[in-house]
Amino acid sequence: MSQPSQINVAFTADDAPIAVAYLRVSTKEQAERDGDAEGYSIPAQREAVGRKASSLGAIVTQEFVDRGESARKADRPALQEMLTFIRTNAVQYVIVHKVDRLARTAATTLPSRPRLLPRVLG
């Protein structure tokens, strides 16, 4: 009996999974540290999300950023924009640095219809 051969598959831009990134800092002070409009953690989150996307072979097509928004509320502007975007676009992944950037508890923030939300990776 022969062993199955291994096939290495490389993603091309045409077949790579599509991802969106969601970045968030909790306070306006975090968002405005040292005169940098993005604060300290937005660039770090962006870098971590990029590494995760690369490991998945995914292409991040959109980035949604909430500056100075608590994860306890669902009416964050960029979060709502992202949820609308993923309802109407073929998105396989929502990538966040940590899940708490998206929501403190899934029940308070994520849509009640899970099929609207692709896999969340953090």
Percent of the chain with pLDDT over 90: 34
- Res 31: pLDDT: 55
Q: What are the tens digits of pLDDT across the range 2-56?
A: 343 333 334 445 689 999 999 998 866 665 555 455 555 888 889 999 999 999 9
Any domain includes 4: no
Any domain includes 3: no
CATH code for the domain in which residue 66 is found: 3.40.50.1390
Any domain includes 19: no
Q: How many domains does the chain have?
A: 1
Res. 85 pLDDT band, cuts 50 70 90 = very high
Q: Between 34 and 97, where is the model more confident?
A: 97
Choose among 26, 31, 24, 28: nearest CA to 80. Answer: 24
Any domain includes 29: yes
Token representation of residue 106:
């899934």
- Res 14: pLDDT: 67
Any domain includes 42: yes
Choose among 76, 80, 55, 51: nearest CA to 66. Answer: 76
Res. 118 pLDDT band, cuts 50 70 90 = low
Q: Between 6 and 89, where is the model more confident?
A: 89
- Res 6: pLDDT: 38
Domain that holds residue 58: 24-121
Any domain includes 70: yes
Any domain includes 114: yes
Any domain includes 88: yes
